[in-house]
Structure 1
């Protein structure tokens, strides 16, 4: 699938997102700092719809962590705080981390509205252990966030930082869109998991083997974009193993053996007895 992209947005609400004259040339990991502008962050929860997302994923992540006896969790891609809040409410000890200061501020606000004080850390994954102290039972990196890393060296370094931040028997839970389907058969979505807001349109505007440029249209007429790297499922799992994780199990939309899913969830073990 390949379409001619809109080179410049005429929407004033998205004007602070700067991609230059040719947005599809912007394939730089550091650009995420300019993508999550305040206007976009303020609308992000319209895209997620916390209530609908909580219903769609149920106890999946909570059960995964409890079954493995994990308690101390690093939410490495906190975003607006959805999973940090769910895990805190379930009794886990949570550190909420994000590379976007705007996202962290929104997450803290969302937690406070629900009677929770989030322990937030502003950190770039590539230098994660410089900004964090201690080791974690589990790291969750959710919301298709890993695809913001455009260079392989950044992906390898981030996974190595995650590995180092885990205890000897820790686990990493990392998700991604089903980019295999998007690249090979075109985009379709059941709009049931993750991005559950039924008034927001999220779809790729341009796709090739090293870029998925998504466009987000909101009910007020505002439009925003994200440039991401389209990770293939096998590539991601192989990279995890190469970095040192001993086993990786992948779920599709919270189910086993579901390659037709909208999202994949990889559960990587640092050590494996079995």
Structure 2
């Protein structure tokens, strides 16, 4: 994610180095893998993808998994700390990445290269950290310029439609195995969660509530075509029952 567009809150500790160490516990990667199976790998291999840029790599869980599946993977993040964590994990696990580097979403094609990748993936609800509509537009347009003609953008986000329309704010919203999350603010402009860990740590994270139709239109406005949606890696899906929404768009070949 692009550092310059993150909301930094010294009172809540959002996105500090310490909270970055809890990132894999905020996103329950084991649960995501169990529910999604090899959805991402199957999708990429089915589309004959060879090179991938994971532009919200975090600590490298997705990037390393894709590299192990035989893809050429560049891991990128707006946080130097996250990139360092990814490099450390790659070294420890003996996984070769094409590159791991800091990159700004707004200038992704300049940081990573224009028309370079068969696919750009932006996972873990990272895109919801952009609060300005112009920033979201500019980021998706930069994603578009980074993908080769015929290539894919795969972006996932929390199902904010369900949160806003079903009134789930009064009960815990479970995330990882050792963390519970409560919405402390929930409206059309802001969703803020407080994460409470079993070890006593607490963090707050603020996200922009991305509506499903809005994201699809954002991809289309940038030039992506044949935009498809999945709910919890399935299609068809219940619009208000899925926890996560995956959106897939293709850059035209010519």
Check whether TM > 0.5.
yes
Please, which moves more after superposition, 84-93 or 32-41?
32-41
Please, which moves more after superposition, 124-133 or 31-40?
31-40
Alignment-derived partner of residue 236 in structure 2: 257
* Conservation of the 8 A alpha-carbon contact between 1:141 and 1:173: yes
CA distance in 2, matches of 1:50, 1:230: 21
* Conservation of the 8 A alpha-carbon contact between 1:36 and 1:100: no
Aligned-partner SS, 2:128: helix
Alignment-derived partner of residue 151 in structure 1: 132
Alignment partner of 1:78 is 2:57: yes
Q: Relative to structure 1, is the Cα distance of residues 203 and 117 closer, same or farther in structure 2, using a 3 angstrom cutoff? A: farther
Which residue of the other structure, out of 87, 100, 103, is the alignment partner of 1:123?
A: 103
CA-CA distance at 1:219 after TM superposition: 1.4
CA-CA distance at 1:33 after TM superposition: 9.3
Alignment-derived partner of residue 23 in structure 1: none
CA distance in 2, matches of 1:186, 1:112: 44
Aligned-partner SS, 2:7: helix
Which residue of the other structure, out of 55, 74, 77, is the alignment partner of 2:34?
A: 55
CA distance in 2, matches of 1:172, 1:126: 15
Cα deviation, 1:175-216, whole Å, max 9, x if unaligned, reads 01110111111237885xxx4x21111232111111011111
CA distance in 2, matches of 1:77, 1:87: 14
CA distance in 2, matches of 1:45, 1:156: 28
Q: Relative to structure 1, is the Cα distance of residues 144 and 40 closer, same or farther in structure 2, using a 3 angstrom cutoff? A: same
Q: Relative to structure 1, is the Cα distance of residues 257 and 203 closer, same or farther in structure 2, using a 3 angstrom cutoff? A: farther
Aligned-partner SS, 1:265: strand
Which residue of the other structure, out of 211, 234, 242, is the alignment partner of 1:232?
A: 211
Q: Normalised by the size of structure 1, how large is the TM-score? A: 0.82
CA distance in 1, matches of 2:181, 2:160: 14
Alignment-derived partner of residue 248 in structure 1: 227
CA distance in 2, matches of 1:155, 1:64: 25
Alignment-derived partner of residue 144 in structure 2: 163
CA distance in 1, matches of 2:33, 2:89: 15
CA distance in 1, matches of 2:47, 2:23: 31
* Conservation of the 8 A alpha-carbon contact between 2:173 and 2:183: no
Alignment partner of 1:141 is 2:122: yes
List aligned pairs for 1:66-215, cutoff 5 A: 66-118=45-97, 119-134=99-114, 135-187=116-168, 191=174, 195=175, 197-215=176-194
Q: Relative to structure 1, is the Cα distance of residues 49 and 251 closer, same or farther in structure 2, using a 3 angstrom cutoff? A: closer
Aligned-partner SS, 2:177: coil
CA distance in 2, matches of 1:212, 1:128: 26
Q: Relative to structure 1, is the Cα distance of residues 32 and 108 closer, same or farther in structure 2, using a 3 angstrom cutoff? A: farther
Alignment-derived partner of residue 5 in structure 1: none
CA-CA distance at 1:117 after TM superposition: 4.1
* Conservation of the 8 A alpha-carbon contact between 2:27 and 2:124: no
CA distance in 2, matches of 1:147, 1:72: 25
Please, which moves more after superposition, 133-142 or 81-90?
133-142
Aligned-partner SS, 2:57: coil
Q: Relative to structure 1, is the Cα distance of residues 32 and 247 closer, same or farther in structure 2, using a 3 angstrom cutoff? A: farther
